[in-house]
Amino acid sequence: MGEVRPSQDSDFKQFESMAYGYRAMFVLLDSYRRRYALNTLRQMLNRYAPPSENFTEGYIRFVSQKTGILPDEELNTRSERDMVPIISAMSEIENGVSADRSMVLEGWRMFVNKN
């Protein structure tokens, strides 16, 4: 939903808006929990940003510090309280700027209304 095809960069997905991109991140992390039983920041981010391609421990540490969620704390991917700050922090790493919270919340609303 909201994906631009073909993407301008074949290595990355592209979306019509940031809100659709955030929705995709919520869907992805929720699928990690449901399909692979990954339910902590450490588990999810090791899959999302694997050590073979990223400084994953730094990624985990950054998201944990920004959100106050411990790396091995069990997450509820259907909790706005947990997931909006996580996706905001991940966006900051991926894009190099702070996330627009209104866009993250719009992505959250699309996620919860379609799942």
Per-residue pLDDT reduced to its tens digit, 9-61: 444 555 567 888 899 899 999 999 999 999 999 999 999 999 999 999 999 99
Which pLDDT score is estimated for 15?
55
Its pTM surpasses 0.75: yes
* Residue whose pair of structure tokens reads 């290595």 in the numeric block: 11
Nearest-angstrom CA–CA distance, 6 and 14 = 8
Six-digit token string for 62: 């950054």
* Residue whose pair of structure tokens reads 């994953």 in the numeric block: 56
Six-digit token string for 90: 């991940």
